[in-house]
Structure formats: structure tokens, C-alpha cells
A and B are shown apart, each in its own frame.
Chain A
Amino acid sequence: MAYRKPYYDENHRLVRYGPVSFLRDAWNFSRNFFAFRNVKLAFRGVTTGFREYFVFFVSIFLLQTLFFTVWLRFDTASAVAREEAYSGDGYNLTVEKISQEAYTELFNSYLSFAGENTPADRGYEVLDTEGYYDGYGDRYYRLNFILTDDSIEFCDAIVSRYGLDREEFTVSYGERSNYLNRISEMKRKSVVNTVLVGVLAAAALTLLFYIRINQNKFLYGIYIAFGAGFEKLLETAWWELLAVALMTYLPAAGASAGIYSAVAAAGGAKPVFVWGRLGWGLLWTTAVVALSVVPGVRIISKKMPVSLITAADNSNYVSSPRVSFRIFGKRFPFHYELFGFVRFRSYYIMLVSAAVAFTVVFSTGLFLADLKKTEAEDNRPYFTLSAGSGELDSYDIAGIDDIEGVDYTVWSKSADATSLRSFVLLTKEQSSGITSMTVKDPATGLYADNNVRYSRLSELLAEEVTSHGVWKVDGDLAAVAAGGDTVAVTRSINNRDVLGFKVGDRITVATFREQGRPLVFDRIDRKYVLSVLLNDAYFNYTEVTVGAVVDDGDTSDEYTVYMPDALYAKITGDSSGYTDASVYLERGIANSETGRIRNAIVKIMSVHRGYTVTPTGEGYRRALAQKAGARLPLITGSAAVLLISPLVWLYAQSAFCRKRYGEIFLLSACGSKDSDIRKLFLFSGAVLTVLAAAATAGIGSLLNYIIYYLVNVYFPSMGFGEQIRYDYTFSPLGLAVCVLLSAVAAMLSTYLPFLAFVRDRDRIARVESGE
């Protein structure tokens, strides 16, 4: 049932849920809400009280600039991506291993999808074809399609029609649909960013507005005394901020266009302006502003007017100085002011938390920007290959490596220790970072662990990853690959270096021999499996030496032990060859080249039954990162947030100082000298500076680590977000900037209002006595 506003009937009785139509309520509400006097009043209020609203002007301006920058970036980047996709001989879709019948059907356009049954509107064109014989002498075709619109439904239709038998068809999406997917992903990310910025903006504005309401309790008390309920107060507040937002709106759009054009020009891209964004920006602003006034208004509207009106002189912010004198006697001003921190604790806690919050947002922004940069520079495989039921031999690898544009190939063969019923035995030092995962082996006193993969390291692979600098290696990888009982190990689980391996360490690999009792695994977590095995089974032990410690870029929940071919075969019982590989392209390769490279790879791979070639298409990302400057919005955004912090301080402290005028007058009336009062403020500023700096340094760096942990460790381990090798780095410089900024903001915002007060004292004295 729709909510109905209570109203008064002709006998002046309050009636709830009366027979008032919802439409009439809505009409009355909007008629009142958009009444011209509201608009006029709001605009006049914020322009005449400009100083009071200054902080709102600045923060809303910054937030709107951020909004427009996010979307400018998206529009520009997607235009660049689209241009890439449609330039050269880009095609949407390549279908492999098309049989003779299917070939005829597709090529002669007898096939119809979703009602498209004439060749003219069938929705696709066959760009080129290539016939070949597979290893068994059967004739197959490879078809490259170009789609006449952006729809990827066609791809799905092909997949579902011919992709049923994977043995016969290898379907992979070509560049264009790849791009289109990427663009929609970018769009999704931009929407998420917008919502995120909106939530942050609403949080910042809520804080500011809450400060404003608290400093203007008297005003709101009078409003409420003369009939303003929640709705009316909300209306007033909303219009106030909306008036500010409307005035900063076009300047913000202009500013972001200017900044972005300059940046884009420097990166060699042409900014793309989409006028519709202006409309969305308006909606976004309206929503953010509406959200941010609700909490403050909600709280204030529940208060009784008398408490608000009298709060003007005895609020919890400025309570009676008598108490301070009583407790600290004549030790003025230091003890007096120190006690002030106790008196005004809720205010100071809010202020310091705001500083911490802003610096955390700032450093998180920088962190994400750096992460983006790492991501963009991260060399990811462009194609991942699987040989199906065949094996990759050195001819295949050499052939792929020789294709023009291919930088190198990394192939892999690995097995999970848990599934082999195997584990490794580690010393206390080696396993101290993963104690919660290990089980102590009673026989040896060592720590058993099965969060590990065994991976095969041939000499060729060792050479490939060393010569191209793919892995970071400590030790001699070639010597490990050459054979014997040496291994190479990684140290990371879920993106954190938790294993304490050093070159020269010895570890023991235990392989399953036989079971002593029936093995019952009624749970599947690794540690449980391990403890069952330790209790109920017998093992063979192979002691090996760590010949190299490597960082292979892995971010999974297992670390890896790389073994030479013979050792790998012995431990895993698998002596077959490599089946999977990743192909890395040369940096800066044009996207139009990738089609040719793919065809060359497919030619080599097609001798293997059931092979796949998947273009993971990372190249697009490098191009975008270079052209559109993905980091810019993050950095500008966090800088913007950092700039809001001192404004919040100044705003809150000015209002706070204004509330203390009465107290200061009283103090001087009681005979304290001006120099004492000056000392009082300096002292207050100093204490606040220390508090703010300490809180920023302490809580700030803790929160930063937590954010790093969430983004790089926790979310990826839950399967969200980018998996990228990224170590937590503590940036002393960034922290110093934040601490310094908090300190300066604390000091200046305490002292400046006092100076202003001294300047205005005569005028204020007149006003105060006039009341």
C-alpha cells in the first residue's frame, strides 16, 4: 500500500492513511517542492552566504569534475578502441575446422539466424576462407566473418550451432567482438566508478552538511519551531546544495573538458565529447546531493526546538568554562584548553576521523593508480594455446617463436600436490608465514604443507624465461633445469610473499606410496586431506635442494615447485610432454597484426587433435593505457579528495571558533590577556596537529594495508577482480605528504579563524551586545 501523508481534517484532527489519492499527494509535494520561492530563496541564500557555502562550492565542483573526467575518459577510450577494432582487416569472428557441409551452408548463406533469410540481411559476410587437411587427411575450412553490425548474437548462434562437437570445431572470437566486449566491460567499470565516486561524494558532503547543521542548530530550531517538519527541512537543505551544484555544474564540465583535452592531446588522442553526459551529470549530482542531506536532516528533525534553540549557548561543543576552571584551577591557558579537548571530544574525534578518511581515500587513489600502471605494463600472454590430446614439442615452440611479432612463448605442465596425495615438508623458518595451513609431521618434526603445485621446468623453458626476463630469478635457473635433485620455488600465495625460501635451502617432497587404513575424506579442504594422509598413509621421501627462488607472476592460492624433467616425472608419475603454452607478443604491436599472427599459430597447432588458440587480447589494454591515460582520473580524483580535507578543517574550525566567541569574550572579561588567548589557540592547534598527524600515520597506514589486502589478496582469492602480481609497498613519501597535510591543516585551521576573529573583534562586539 502506498504511503499516505497524515493530514488534518475539518475538525483539525490528525488523520493517517485517509482516502487521499497518492497522485494528489505527489502533485502537492512537487508543486511545493519546485515552487519558485524555494528556488529563489536557495540561490539567494547560497550567494549571499557565499563564505559559509564556500566549502560546498569547492567540493561539489571537484566531484562534478571527477564525474565528467571519468566519462570523458570512457568516451575517448571507447572511441579509440572502436577505431582500432574497425581499422585494418579486423574481423569479428573466426571459426575453425568447418566441415565441408557446414562450409557450404555458411558460405552460400543458406544459413539464417533470427529471421535473417536473404543474403543481403543475413548479418554477416564471409571475409576469407582457407581450406586445409588435418593429420587424418580430412578436408576442413577456416572462415573469417565480418559482422554487419556490432551484435555478438551471431557469434553465439555460430557457437551453439556448430560448437556442440568440440572435437570438430574450434571457435574463437576475433578482434572485433573482443573489442566490443572490452568496451562493454569498460562501460561497466565506468558505471561502477561513477557509483563509487557518488558514494564517496555523498559521504564527504554528508559530513560537511552535518557539520553545517550542527553549527546552525539555532537556525534549524527556529525553522522547526515555526512548522518545518522533516520534509520541509529536507526540501530547504536539498535546494541549498542543489543551488550550489547547479552553479558549479557548467564550470566543472568545462574544467574537466579542458584538463582532459590537454592530457589526451599529450597522449596523442582526440578527446570525444558526448553531450548526453551533461544530462547524466545533472541526474548524478541531484541524486548525490539528495543523499547527502538526508542523514543530517533526519537527525535534526527528531529534536525538540527548545533544545536546539538553547543549544546555541550551551551546546556540548561549548559548555560552561566554569567546569574547566573548577577542575584545573588557575593553570590557564594550557590546562584549560587541554580540558577543552575532553569537553569537545566528539567534535575533535569527528574532525580527526575526517582527516584520516580523506588521506586514506587519497592514498588509496594513488595505490590504485599505481596498480593500474602495473597492470598496463604487465606483459600478459596474447594467446593461450592448448594442444588438446597432443603434445607440444620443441618444433612447435620454435615455430611459434619464429612468427614475426611473437616475442616469446612460455609453456607449462603442472600438477596439484593435493590431487597427487603429495605434500612437501618444510622447516619452521620456511613455513612461518603459513602456519595456519601446515600440519606438523610427528615423525620428522617438520611442517607438512600441500598448498603447492609441481611444475615441469625444461632447459628450453628455463632459457626462454631467463633470456626474456619473464621471471625474477634469484639463483641459477639453468642449473636447476639441467637435472639432478635441485628445484626452483616461488614464495607467494595469494599475492603475498609468505614462504621463507632461500637459495640453498633443503625441502622434502613426500609422494604417496600406500595407505595404512582406508582413507576417508569427508571434507575437501586441503589441510583436512593432509592430516588424513599423514595419519593413515605411507610415503616416499625425496629430499631436494632449492637452486633458485623465482617470481613467476603467479597470484594463485598455491606456490610452485619447479622441477627438472626427470624429477617431475618421478614425483608426479607423468612423463608426457607439454600441452599448454602462452604466447607473448612484442610490445607495441599493431592490433591489425594479430590476425596474421593468429593464423600462423593456428597453422602450427592444427596438427594436434582438439587444439585451441584463445586470444586473451591483452594488447588492447596496453593500447588504451598508452592512449587514454587510465591513471589520470584516479590521480586527479585522489588529489581532489585530498584538497577537500583542509577545506573541511577550515570550515569546521571557523564555525567552531565563531561559537567560542562568547567564551573568549568572557575570558577576556575575566581578565585574561590577549597573549594568553593567542597562546590558547596556538596550544590548541599544536595538540590537534599532533593528534591529526599521529592518527593519519597510524590509522592511515593500517587502513592502507587493509585496502591493499582486500584488493590484491582477498578479492582475487574469492575470484573477483584482476589477478595481478603486486607487492605491498609502503610509501614513506606518500605517508609524509598525508601527515604533513593533516598537520598543516590542523594548525592553520585552528589559528586562522582566531586571527580573523581578532581582526573582526570590534564588529563582533557590537553585534553581540546588540542582541
Chain B
Amino acid sequence: MANGYSGGRVILEVRDVIKQFKQYDSVVTAVNRANFEVCDGEFVAIMGASGSGKSTLLHVLAGLDRPNSGRITLRGNEITAMNADDLAVFRGNYIGVIFQSHNLIPQFTALENILVPTLMCNKPDFSYEEHLKKLVSTLRIADRLHHLPSELSGGQQQRVAIARALINRPQIVFADEPTGNLDRDNADEVLSLLLRTKEVMNQTLIMVTHDRSIAEKADRIFEMENGDLRPLRQ
């Protein structure tokens, strides 16, 4: 394999992806010609300074935003060529996202927030109750399920967002600083949960993090600098 990893077949292929933002008369190139592949079951960490384009890259990879140019292929489907509608359904079936700013729906309780993905995609013969129980107990939010986001601490909101990303058992998880608001112990706990579910469900995990000790656990580390992506450790 080009990037040295030989675990399985390629699940994510990124070719010449460019994402720019135009504001007034200046242009920010948040992602500058990214090229890489990720294999099935891999754990990839992306590091980099603030404003270097990590979140933007993640959004584009997860099909939440369109790149200006380039091609992204997920599970053999070229998501850059899909229309918005098919893309949404595809996301619902295969992708889990943890946003950097948790993006919980303020008028829904924690439980309702967690269940949003199950309502939004009709996975056939899918029952989530067992899974939900395990998730909330590991994430230690079982007693906060009926509270609104505004009544939760930042760390608790973070964990609700993680549960929401995992409830549908996605095959690829994109996580944007999932441990950013957590203390050391909690961060380790959440990371081990993510890694455990990754193992059990044979997920692929792509995670943005500032935490070098977390990144060390990844199969590979990329670093972003002013929109340029380069491998840090193979």
C-alpha cells in the first residue's frame, strides 16, 4: 500500500481535494490539494495548529460540505459526484460524525438528540436499544438523558454528541476533537470506548485531535499546516 498500511482494502480515497472560502475579497485555502487513502479498519489521526483546516477537511471527507475540486471515494462510492439527497442517505447509512462544537439540537433532550440518526435513516431490521444502553453507560450520561443540552456541562454535551455519532453503528466515524472538552480520565475513557466500538464493529476512525498522547494510539498520523496535509508517522 502506498501509505505503508496493509490491513485491508481501501475504504476512503482522497484525490486532489481543494476547499477554499471566499470572504469579501480574500480567499482562504483551508484544504490545499489533499491526497491520501485510508484502509478499512484503520485509525487515522489528524493534528495541526488552530485554523490549519482540520475541521474543514473532515467536513469535506464526511460529505457534509463540497470541495471546490477533487474527488473523494468512500466505500467505492464517489461522494463528490452524488447529489445532495443521495449523499444524505449515504451518510445516514455509513457515516457517523462528531462535531467540534457539539451541535446538539437545543430544543431536544439528550436522549432525543442521540436518537436523531435512528429516526432520520430507515435502516432495515435495526434495533438500537441494547446498543443505546451500552453507549450511555460507558459514556456515563445515563442519568442525564432527559435533560436539555443547555442543562448539561460542556463535557456531557460532548459525550451526548459521541453517542449520537455511534448510535447507528456507522462503518466510518469522523471525529473532530471528541475529547477536547474532557479531563484526562474522561478523555481516556471516551477514547477507549471509541477504540472498542471500532474493534467490535470493524469501524474506520478518522479523528482530529490536539492531544499527542491520543494521536500516538493511531495507526497513522497526518499533520495539517495552512491547508497542506502531510503524513507525520506511517
Contact residues of A with B, CB < 8 Å? 6, 8, 11-14, 28, 32, 37, 41, 49, 218-219, 222-232, 301-307, 309, 766-767, 770-771
Contact = CB atoms under 8 A, between A and B. Distances in A.
B149 A771 contact: yes
A41 B119 contact: yes
Given A226-B120, A306-B65, A771-B150, 14 more contacts: A6-B86, A12-B76, A222-B103, A222-B105, A225-B64, A225-B97, A226-B91, A227-B121, A230-B88, A302-B85, A304-B66, A306-B59, A309-B103, A770-B149
A223 B116 contact: yes
B88 A229 contact: yes
A11 B76 contact: yes
B84 A227 contact: no
Contact of B77 (A13, A224, A230, A231): A13
17 contacts: A12-B94, A13-B77, A14-B82, A223-B120, A224-B88, A225-B97, A226-B97, A228-B120, A229-B86, A229-B88, A231-B85, A304-B64, A304-B65, A305-B64, A766-B150, A770-B150, A771-B150
Question: Max chain B CB contacts within 10 Å: which of A6, A13, A228, A231?
Answer: A228
A228 B64 CA distance: 12
B75 interface: yes
Contact of A226 (B59, B92, B106, B149): B92
A316 to B, nearest CB: 13
Contacts of A6: 86
A32 B122 contact: yes
Interface in B169-225: none
A37 B90 contact: no
Contact of A301 (B64, B88, B99, B116): B88
Contacts of B84: 224, 301-304
B93 A8 contact: yes
Task: State the majority secondary structure of interface residues on B.
Answer: helix
B17 to A, nearest CB: 15
Nearest to B89: A229
Contacts of B65: 304-307
Contacts of B119: 37, 41
Contacts of B107: 49, 219
A229 B84 CA distance: 8
B66 to A, nearest CB: 6
A305 B64 CA distance: 5
A218 B105 CA distance: 8
Given A6-B86, A306-B59, A228 B92 contact: yes
Nearest to A230: B85
B106 A228 contact: no
Nearest to A769: B150
B41 interface: no
Contacts of B149: 770-771
Contacts of A224: 84, 88
A219 B105 contact: yes
Given A222-B103, A222-B116, A771-B150, A227 B77 contact: no
A13 B103 CA distance: 30
A665 B150 CA distance: 18
Question: Max chain A CB contacts within 10 Å: which of B59, B86, B89, B164?
Answer: B89
A219 B90 CA distance: 19
A12 B66 contact: no
B117 interface: yes
A150 to B, nearest CB: 51
A657 to B, nearest CB: 17
Interface string B145-182: 00001110000000000001000100000000000000
Given A8-B93, A12-B75, A304-B65, A227 B88 contact: yes
Nearest to A7: B89
A128 to B, nearest CB: 72
Interface string B93-123: 1100101000101110000000011011110
Contacts of A770: 149-151
A304 B105 CA distance: 17
In the complex, the 3 A-B pairs of residues with the closest C-beta atoms, listed nearest first: A227-B92, A227-B121, A306-B65
A566 to B, nearest CB: 81
A227 B120 contact: yes
A767 B150 contact: yes
Nearest to A14: B77
Question: Max chain B CB contacts within 10 Å: which of A28, A32, A225, A770?
Answer: A225
Contacts of A231: 85
B3 to A, nearest CB: 22
A303 B150 CA distance: 27
A306 B121 contact: no
A453 B91 CA distance: 74
Contacts of B85: 229-231, 301-302
Question: Max chain B CB contacts within 10 Å: which of A13, A41, A302, A309?
Answer: A309
Contacts of A28: 122
